[in-house]
Structure 1
Amino acid sequence: MTCGMFVIPVIKEIGLCLWHSGFKRAVLICDLKENLNSLGVTMEQLMQIYEDVEQRVQTEELLLLAKPTKEVAGWFDEVRKLKEDVSKTLRDGEEQEQSKCLAGCCPKNCWQSYKLGKRVNKMLDEVEKLKNKGRFDVVVAKMHNSVDKKPMDETVGLDPMLQKVWRCIEDKSLGVIGLYGIGGVGKTTLLCKINNLFLSLSHDFVEVILVSVSKQPVMKKIQKAILQKLGFSEGFRLDSTVNNAFQIFRRLVKRKFLLLLDDVWERLDLNLVGIPLPNDKNESKVIFTTRSEDVCGLMGAQQNIRVECLTQEEALRLFRMKVGENTLNSDPRIPKLAEVMAAECKGLPLALVTVARAMASRKDPEDWESEIAALRNAPSEFPGMDSVLLPLKFSFEKLQNATLKSCFLYCCLFPDGYNISIEELIEYWGAERFLDEYDRDGEYIIRSLKRACLLESGESEEFVKMHGLIRDMAWQECSDKVAIFIKRDAESNEERGLRRWNEVERLSLWDYSIDDVLIKSSPSCIEHFSKHITQLLNLRTMICKVPMLTTFPAGFFPLMSALTLLDLSNSFLLRELPQEIGKLINLEYLNVSETAITELPAEIQRLEKLRCLILNRTKIWEIQRGLISRLQFLEIFSWFGYVGNYICDRDSHLLEELDGLPHLSEICIAIAYHVASVKILMGSHKLQRCIRKLFFSSINGLTFLEVSPILLSRMEHLELCRCEDLKEVEISPGTYYPRHEFSLLRKVVIVSCDSLSNVTWLTYAPKLQTLELRDCITLRGCIALWEGTNMEKKLIFSSLMFLRLVRLPYLRGICNHVLPFPSLGKIEVLECHNLKELPFDSKSAKNCLIHGDKMWWDSLRWEDEATKQVFSSKFVRHSR
C-alpha cells in the first residue's frame, strides 16, 4: 500500500505531462491552417509598415541629404530576411494542405505538420516583434553640416547692417534680398558673417549655401559648388546644365534653404541654376551681393540694402586694429598721423585694411608723413592700392555706354567730397554735348551712376558726391586732356593732369584760400595760371570757382579762342566781366551766378554761338535792351535769386526778346511788382512751354492765377511770394485727367500770400518733392478732397519728401483724408497752433521725422492709439 501511494501520483503526473504535450502538438497540427492565414495577414501588415518607413527614409534622404540610421538599416535587413522565410513557410503550408488525406481532414504526415506548425508560431512572434520595432521616431542620420564655417577676420561696423539683414530674413514676405555697394565696402565680409551666424543660432534652414558668382559667371561652376554643398562628392561628374539644374531642384524643392550668392554682376537666372524660387510657402531665402542697384532689380530683389562705408570713428578703429598697438605706441606722433591716414581712406574697409597693413611695420613718423602725401597725390602708387582701385574700375567698365562713362569722368573736375549740384552737372553735360540738346535724360544718367554706386547722394536730394577713392580711380581713367588745380591754403594744393599744358582741354580751378594773410602771402590760382595762358590753346572747358577773385588779369581770355564752356559761379567778389569776353567766339555756355557782377558787357552780344546763359543771384538789376535778341542760338536763359534779379515793367522787353529766340527751350525767371509782365508771359505759348522755374513776387492786383497745360509741361519749380491779392490758383480745364501734363513740378514755395485759402491744385503734381508754406494768414487747409474725387489717394503727395509749414495761424488740417505719404522724410511745423491733426494712420509716412514745438506736439489728435504709438518716436523738438 505504501509503494502504491508513491507510484500512482508519479504515473498520474507523467500521464498529465504526456497528455499536455500531445494536446499541444495536436493543437499545432489542428490550428496550422488558421495560423498560416494569420502569418500571411501579419506579414502583410509588417510589409505595410516597412513601406511606410522606407518612404520616410527616401523623403528625408532627399530633404536632409541623409542616410538611414544603423537601427533602421538593420530592421530593413531583418524584415527582408523574415519575408523570405515567411514566403517559404507559406509555400510549405500550401503543399501540406494539398497533401491531406481523408477528404482533407487529416495530415498525411503528422510529424511534418507539427514541425511546420511550430515554425509558423515562432514566425508569428517574430513578425509581431518587428512590427513593434518599426515605430521609429528618427529614421535617418544627417551626412553633413547644413552650414560650413567661412574664415574671416574680426569686423568693425557691420553689426547694424547685419541686424538689418536679419530683420529681412525673419520677414516671411521677403524671399530675395539684394546687398549692394561699391567695391571694397565689405559686402563679401557681410555675407560670410551672415553665413557664420547660423553656426551659433538655432534655425530651421535645412541648407545654408554660400557660392561665389564672380564677374564672368560659369553656370556649371556655380552648379558644381551648390551640388557639392548638397552632398555630392568631389568626384561627382557634372552633366549638362539642364540635368545639373534638375538634380539641384530635386534636392531643394521641398526644403527650406538659404542661398548666399556673392559678387553678382548681372542677372543670374535662378531657374536655370536649378534654384526653386523663394516664396512665403517654402520660406526659403536668396541673398546676393552686387555693386549695382540695377542688378538688384534684374534679380527680382524684394528688398535692396545699400552697404555703406564706415563712419569716421569706425574707420579709425579698424585702421588701428590692423596697424597694431605695437606700432601705434612706438612714437607719440604716430596715433595722430594714423587718424590722418585713416581719414584719407574715406571709410572704405578694403582701403583701410590695405593701407594699415602697409604701415604696420612703419615706426618712423617721417615715413608716415611721406606715405600720407603719397596717398593724397598719387594713391595708385601706394603699396597695395591697386587691389583697392581695381574693383572700383570694374564698376566703371561695366557702365553700359560711352555717354555714361563720359558723364561719370566729368565728375573728376570737382574737389574730393564736394557736393555737386545735379542741376549744374546736367547743364555741364549738355554744354559738352554728352546729351542731346540739354536733354533732361541727364537725371536718368544720375540715377544710373548712383545705382552703379559710382556716385552717392549729397547733403540733400539736389546734390551728389563722388567717393574719394572712386575719384582716384576715375583720374586714372582720365586722359591728359583733363586737369584740376585746387588751392587749399598757402602750402596745400592739389594738382592733377597738368603735365602737358598744351594738351589740356578741360580745366577746373578751385581756390579755398579766403584768409587775407594767405592771399597776400601766395599768388591766387588765377595768377598762377595766367603764366601758362599761352599754352592753353586747346582749352575748351574752364570751371573757375575762386571766391576771392575780383577781376581777371589783362590778356587772360583772348588766347582761349577754343573755349566753349566758362563757369565763373561762386566767385563771390568778381565785380565785372572784362570786355575781352567778347573774343571767346566759340563760347556756348556762360555761368556767372553767385558773383558781384552788376551788368553784362555789351560784348556779350558777340557770343553768337552761346547756347546757355545763367545769371542767378548776381547784382545785375537790368539787362540792356537788344542784348538777348542778338544771341540767336540761345537755348537756356536763367535769371533769378536776389532782390533785383527779376523782370518788372522796365524789363518787359526781355520777355519779348526771349519770345523771339528760335532755339529757346528753357527759361528760369522771376517776375515782380506788376501784372503786365505776367500777362506777357501768359500770352505767349512759347514762353510758357519753356518755363522750368518761375518766381512771382509782390505782384499787386494778381487775384487769380490760371495754370495752363502748356505752362505745366516743363515747369519744375514754382514760388509765389508776397502776392497778397492772390485768392486762387486753378488748373485750366482739361488738365485734371491728363496728369502727365503736370508731372514735372517738384518744388513749390508759397510765402505771404495772405488771401490764399488752400492749395488743392497740388494734388495733380505726382512728382512734387518739396512743399513750403509760410506766413499765409488765411490758409485753412492744404488740400481738400471730397467723396468721389476722380483720383487715387495713393498718388496724392506720393513723391513728397519735405513739408514745411510756418506761421499759418488758421491752418486746421493738411488733408481731410488719411494719405500714405510713402516718400515723406521730414515735416517741419512752426507756429501753426490750430493744426491739431495730421493725415496719418499707423501705416503712413514710415520714414518720416516730425519737427515742431513740444506744446504743439502734445496737443495733436491721432487717428487711433496705434497711430499715436507709431509716431511717438518720430518727433524731434525744434531748437530755436
Structure 2
Amino acid sequence: MGYVSPSSLMDIFNLLKACCSPSCNYIMTYDGTFSSLASEVGQLKDKSSDVKRDVEAATRDGMTPRSEVLGWLSSVQDMEGEAESIERKYNQKIKCLCSFPLNICSAYRLRNRAEAALATIRELKQSAEFTKLSDNLNLTRSIKMPTTKTIGMDKVFEELQRHAKDDSLSVIGIHGMGGVGKTALLRRFNNDFPSETEADVVIFLELSIDYKLEEVQKSLFDRLSLTWQDEVTHRDRATKLFRVLSTLKFILLLDNLWEPLNYQVVGIPLPAPPSKCKIIFTTRTEDTCSHMGTEKMIKMECLEEEAAWNLFRNSARMDVIDADKNVRIEARDLVKECGGLPAALIVLAQAMAPKKTWEEWIHALTIMKDTPHQLPGMTNNVLSILKLSYDRLSSDNLRVCASYGALFEKGSWIYKYNIRDYWIGEGIIDNADTILDATRKTQFLLGILHAASLTVRVDDVYFTMHPMTRAMILWVQRECGKKENKWLVLNREQVKEENWRDAERISLGVNQIRELPETPQCPDLIFLNLEFNELLSKIPNGFFLHMPHLKILNLRNTSIQELPASIGNLVQLHYLDLSRTRITSLPKEMAALVNLKLLSLAFTTSLRIIPDQLFSSLRELQWLDMCDSYTGWREGQIWEGGVSFEELESLKRLRVIGITVSTLAALQNLCISPRLAAFTCWLYIEGCRDLTLFDIPSKDFHLENMLEVFCIRLHAMCELEEVVIGNLKPILQSLQQLRLSSLPKAKLVWRATFPSTLFKLEIDGCGAIDRLIKLEGEANGSGETVITIFPDLHTMVLRRLPELKSLSDGERILNFPSLKTIKVEDCPKLTKLTLVADGLKEIKCQRSWWEQLNWGDERTKSFEHLYNPMNID
C-alpha cells in the first residue's frame, strides 16, 4: 500500500466536506420540519373531528353527506396515516441518535416525505370550509292517503288551495262539526298536492284524541326518516326536529286536533310570512283555531240539499231509486233527515243499498226520524263520532246546556232568552244580580257550545241544533238506546201515559194535545214541557200528585184557565212558565213552591186574582215576569184587596221584575220603592186614564231610579198626548226597547241632550203621529241637517199609523247608523223614506204599500233593493 501524506488527506477531507455540506445541513435541520408536521396534523385532526361530528348528525337526521365532504375525510384519514408513518421512522432512525442520521440518503428521503405531507395537509386545511356538508333528507315528497268521497266540497277545496298558495298565510285552520268531511278534505289536499310547488315535503299526521307529546314527535321522526332513540329527552328531540324542519320547505297537515298544539315544545318551527312553509290543521273547536295562531279559518258547512242527494246516490249503488218513483220520494226524505252531514249520508246509503221495496224505505224513514241508532253503522260511524264533541265539554253543566237543544223541535230556531230562563230553572245560572248578567252568561255558555260545533248560530238571538247532533244527544240521554222512554221528546204526537213512568224529561211542545193523564206516575221526572198545546184547556186535579222531583214546568201558550191544587206537591219546582195562558187566578197551594226561582206570568191578560201573601211564600224567587198581566196592585189599606208591593219587597233573592201598572198611584209606589225600582227590567203602563204626559226618565215618578229597565211599553191610554225622551243624564242607559201602542193622541218628542241606547222602537195604533219623532230644544236648534239621536237603533216597527208622513222632522233628517230592519204595516200616508240608514238590510212590508212609494224621491230610491214581503194575518 502506498504512502499518503497528511496534507493529501486534509485535501480529500475538505473536498468531501465541500461536497456534502449542503446535504448535511439539510439533514441536520429537519427537526423543525417534523415539528411543524406534528402541529399541522393535530390541527387537521381537530377540524376532521368537527366535520365528522356534523356529518354523523346529518346522517342521523336522514340527510346524505356530500361526496366532496366524504372525499375530504378520506384524504384526511390517508394523511393521518402518512404522518404517523413518517413520525414512526423519524423516531426510530434519527431522533434516537440525537438527530444525526447513520444513513444520510435515507434521512434525506424521509425529510422529503415530511415536507410533501406538510404541503398536502395545509391544502386539506384550506379546503375544509364547506358551504354545505350534506344534501336534503332522503324523503318521499308526499304519501298518498286513503280517502272518502268529497262530493259537494269542490268550493271549499278550491278555497283551501287558494289560501295554501298565499305566501302571506302560514297557519290555516279548518273547523266544523264531526262527520262534516274535514278529514276527507285534508286527505284530498294531501293527495292532490300540485307537483310544481316548491315544497320539499308534505307531512300528514292524524292525531289521536288525547295525543301525547312523544306520540307527535315519534310520528314526525318516522315521516322524516330520523333515528329515534328512547333515551333522548323530549327537549333534545324537539331541537333535532326544529333543526331539520328549518332546512325544509314543509307543508304540515295535522288532522283531528282537539287541543292546541304547542309548536315550540314539539319542535315545529312556526313559519313567519312570507313563507312557502304551511301548517294546516282540522279541528271541531273554533277555540283551537284561535290558540294555534291561525291566520285564516275555513268553516266546513254541511252539504246543500242537492249536493247531499248526489253524495247519497254515489255512495252506494241503488238502482231501485231510479226504478221506483215512490222509493225515490222516500229516499229524498231520508236524505233530509241527515241534515247534509256527509258521514251520515254515506252510512245511510250503505245501509239502504240492499233495500228493494217501498215498504222497507218507509220503515227506514220512520227509524231515521225517531231512533236512527237502529240503522246499521249509524251508532259506530256517526253518533259515536259526534258524541266525542259532547264528551269533551269541560263540565257536566256544559253537557246539560248542550242537552237542552235536543228538547226543542227538530230544526227549530231556539230563542236564546228561552234557554236563559230554562238554565235559571236548572240552576246553571244562579244568583245573577241583573238580567244583563244572566244574559251575558247565557251568551258565554252558548259561545262555548257554538265553538264546539254542538250548536249552530243563526244570529244574535237565535241558534239551532243539527238534526244528527240532536239525535246523538237523545241517544246518549237514553243510555245509548237502552231506555227509549227516559227522554220523551215528541212533536205532533199523542200522549201515551204508559211511557211516562221511566221518563226524566218530557217535551211535548207544539202538539195537538187536548187531554192529559189523570194521575201519571213520574217518580224521576224533572222536566215537563207542554208549551204551544193550544187545545189543552184543563189539567186534571191529580196530575201533579206523583212528580216529586219536577224542577221545570212549562205551560206557555196553552189554553188552561186554572191550575189544580196538586200544583202544591211540586215542592222541588224551580221554574214555572204560565205566560200567554188564559189563567184567571193563582191557587193558594202555590205557596208551597218554596224553591221556585223563576215565575213567568207574562201576557196572562185574564189574571185577576192572586191570593194574599202568596208571593211572600216564594222565598227563593229570583225572577218574576208579569208584563201585560196582573194590575190589581194594592194602593192603600189591606181591605182594598190586591197584592201589595211590600210583598214583593220581602223577597230577598228577587233580582229581576217585569211588571204592569194601570194607575198613577201604582206607578208612583213602584218608582219610590228602592228595591223594586232597582230590579224592574220590563215596565208596562196601560190604561192610566189621568196620564197626559210621560217623560223618559220622569221627574214626576222618579223613573230615573229604574237603572236596569230595558223595556218600556205604554199602552191603551186615550189622554196621553206626549211621550218625551227628556234631557236628564243618563237617559236610562239600559233602555233598549220602547213600545207605544193604542195611544190615539200621543206624539213622540225628543228633548234630550245625549243620544239614547234604544235598540228597538215599536209604534202601533198611534193615530196622531204624523212624523216619527218631534225634535225640540237643542236638537231642533242645532242647525245640523242630519241628526243622530238613536245611534244603536237596530229595529223599527211602524204599524197602524194613519197620519204618519215622514220618518224625520221637517228639514232635519234623522240618521240611524245601526238600523238593520224596518217593518211597515198600514201606514198609507208614508210615501217617502226620508232618513239616512247606510246599514239597512231589509224593509218588511206589504207589496201594495211598497208599490205606492214615491220612487222619484232620491232618498226613497236608494232603498229600492231592500224590499222583503211581509204576510199580514
TM, length-normalised to structure 2: 0.69
In structure 2, the partner of 1:13 is none
Kept after mapping to 2: 8 A contact 1:185/1:309: yes
- Pair 1:724–1:167, CA change in 2 (3 A): farther
- Cα deviation digits, residues 535-567 of structure 1 (max 9, x gap): 335544321124332422543535346344321
- Pair 1:856–1:720, CA change in 2 (3 A): farther
- Aligned residues: percent identity? 23
Q: 1-side partners of 2:229 and 2:551: how far apart?
A: 65
2:454 partner amino acid = L
- Pair 1:301–1:564, CA change in 2 (3 A): same
In structure 2, the partner of 1:452 is 452
Kept after mapping to 2: 8 A contact 1:182/1:291: yes
1:813 partner amino acid = N
- Pair 1:592–1:805, CA change in 2 (3 A): closer
- Pair 1:201–1:548, CA change in 2 (3 A): farther
* Bigger Cα displacement from structure 2, 646-655 vs 268-277: 646-655
- Pair 1:216–1:727, CA change in 2 (3 A): closer
Q: 2-side partners of 1:238 and 1:150: how far apart?
A: 32
Q: 2-side partners of 1:135 and 1:875: how far apart?
A: 73
Question: Quick one: which of 569, 588, 602 aligns to 1:616?
Answer: 602
**1:429 lines up with 2:427 in the alignment:** no
| 1:68, distance to aligned residue in structure 2 (A) | 7.0
Q: 1-side partners of 2:246 and 2:372: how far apart?
A: 49
In structure 2, the partner of 1:483 is 487
In structure 2, the partner of 1:232 is 226
- Pair 1:443–1:230, CA change in 2 (3 A): same
| 1:426, distance to aligned residue in structure 2 (A) | 2.7
**1:577 lines up with 2:562 in the alignment:** yes
Kept after mapping to 2: 8 A contact 1:392/1:473: yes
- Cα deviation digits, residues 175-194 of structure 1 (max 9, x gap): 44433322212121222233
Q: 1-side partners of 2:823 and 2:532: how far apart?
A: 38
2:834 partner amino acid = H
1:355 partner amino acid = L
Kept after mapping to 2: 8 A contact 1:636/1:667: yes
**1:267 lines up with 2:260 in the alignment:** yes
1:776 partner amino acid = L
Question: Quick one: which of 669, 676, 693 aligns to 1:701?
Answer: 693
- Pair 1:580–1:602, CA change in 2 (3 A): closer
* Bigger Cα displacement from structure 2, 75-84 vs 433-442: 75-84
- Pair 1:398–1:708, CA change in 2 (3 A): farther
Secondary structure in 2 aligned to 1:533? Answer: coil
Question: Quick one: which of 649, 671, 677 aligns to 1:682?
Answer: 671
Q: 2-side partners of 1:511 and 1:313: how far apart?
A: 29
- Pair 1:619–1:370, CA change in 2 (3 A): same
Secondary structure in 1 aligned to 2:205? Answer: strand
In structure 2, the partner of 1:833 is 834
Q: 2-side partners of 1:361 and 1:608: how far apart?
A: 57
Q: 2-side partners of 1:144 and 1:678: how far apart?
A: 82
In structure 2, the partner of 1:663 is 652
**1:306 lines up with 2:299 in the alignment:** yes
In structure 1, the partner of 2:726 is 728
| 1:287, distance to aligned residue in structure 2 (A) | 2.8
TM, length-normalised to structure 1: 0.68
| 1:391, distance to aligned residue in structure 2 (A) | 1.5
Kept after mapping to 2: 8 A contact 1:730/1:761: no
**1:469 lines up with 2:462 in the alignment:** no
Q: 2-side partners of 1:203 and 1:855: how far apart?
A: 58
- Pair 1:374–1:673, CA change in 2 (3 A): closer
Q: 1-side partners of 2:663 and 2:560: how far apart?
A: 30
- Cα deviation digits, residues 291-315 of structure 1 (max 9, x gap): 2333334444455443222222222
- Pair 1:203–1:526, CA change in 2 (3 A): farther
Kept after mapping to 1: 8 A contact 2:204/2:254: yes
- Pair 1:450–1:286, CA change in 2 (3 A): same
1:507 partner amino acid = I
Kept after mapping to 1: 8 A contact 2:63/2:134: no
2:555 partner amino acid = L
| 1:434, distance to aligned residue in structure 2 (A) | 4.2
Question: Quick one: which of 548, 552, 573 aligns to 2:534?
Answer: 548
Kept after mapping to 2: 8 A contact 1:212/1:261: yes
Q: 1-side partners of 2:233 and 2:547: how far apart?
A: 64
Question: Quick one: which of 169, 177, 186 aligns to 1:182?
Answer: 177
In structure 1, the partner of 2:209 is 215
- Pair 1:382–1:857, CA change in 2 (3 A): farther
* Residues 239-388 of structure 1: pairs in structure 2 closer than 5 A: 239-253=232-246, 255-280=248-273, 282=275, 284-324=277-317, 326-387=319-380, 388=382
Q: 1-side partners of 2:588 and 2:318: how far apart?
A: 66
Q: 2-side partners of 1:783 and 1:298: how far apart?
A: 48
| 1:614, distance to aligned residue in structure 2 (A) | 0.9
**1:161 lines up with 2:146 in the alignment:** no
* Bigger Cα displacement from structure 2, 137-146 vs 397-406: 137-146
- Cα deviation digits, residues 489-533 of structure 1 (max 9, x gap): xxxx499x9876434343222353xxxxxxxxxxx5453x51x73
1:565 partner amino acid = I
Question: Quick one: which of 143, 159, 177 aligns to 1:148?
Answer: 143
In structure 1, the partner of 2:509 is 510
2:487 partner amino acid = A
* Bigger Cα displacement from structure 2, 354-363 vs 751-760: 751-760
**1:407 lines up with 2:393 in the alignment:** no
Unaligned runs of 5+ in 1: 1-46, 88-108, 513-523, 736-741, 787-795, 816-823, 839-847, 862-871
Secondary structure in 1 aligned to 2:749? Answer: coil
1:219 partner amino acid = L
* Bigger Cα displacement from structure 2, 175-184 vs 644-653: 644-653
* Bigger Cα displacement from structure 2, 149-158 vs 377-386: 149-158
- Cα deviation digits, residues 315-352 of structure 1 (max 9, x gap): 21211111335343343332222111111222211111
| 1:599, distance to aligned residue in structure 2 (A) | 1.9
- Pair 1:374–1:732, CA change in 2 (3 A): closer
Secondary structure in 1 aligned to 2:302? Answer: coil
- Cα deviation digits, residues 87-127 of structure 1 (max 9, x gap): 9xxxxxxxxxxxxxxxxxxxxx9xx9xxx9xxx9xx99xx9
In structure 2, the partner of 1:105 is none
Secondary structure in 2 aligned to 1:726? Answer: strand
Secondary structure in 2 aligned to 1:341? Answer: helix
- Pair 1:808–1:650, CA change in 2 (3 A): farther
- Pair 1:445–1:425, CA change in 2 (3 A): same
- Pair 1:169–1:726, CA change in 2 (3 A): farther
Q: 2-side partners of 1:166 and 1:442: how far apart?
A: 38
- Pair 1:605–1:850, CA change in 2 (3 A): closer
Q: 1-side partners of 2:497 and 2:162: how far apart?
A: 51
Secondary structure in 2 aligned to 1:148? Answer: coil
How many residues are paired up? 740
1:590 partner amino acid = L
1:249 partner amino acid = F
| 1:454, distance to aligned residue in structure 2 (A) | 2.0
1:506 partner amino acid = R
Q: 1-side partners of 2:448 and 2:625: how far apart?
A: 27
- Pair 1:271–1:650, CA change in 2 (3 A): same
In structure 2, the partner of 1:29 is none
1:599 partner amino acid = T
2:243 partner amino acid = R
2:538 partner amino acid = F
- Pair 1:705–1:74, CA change in 2 (3 A): same
* Residues 713-792 of structure 1: pairs in structure 2 closer than 5 A: 714-715=708-709, 717=711, 724-728=722-726, 730-732=728-730, 745=734, 747-749=736-738, 754-756=748-750, 760-762=754-756, 770-772=759-761, 776-778=772-774
Secondary structure in 2 aligned to 1:619? Answer: coil
Secondary structure in 1 aligned to 2:463? Answer: strand
Kept after mapping to 1: 8 A contact 2:250/2:278: yes
| 1:476, distance to aligned residue in structure 2 (A) | 2.8
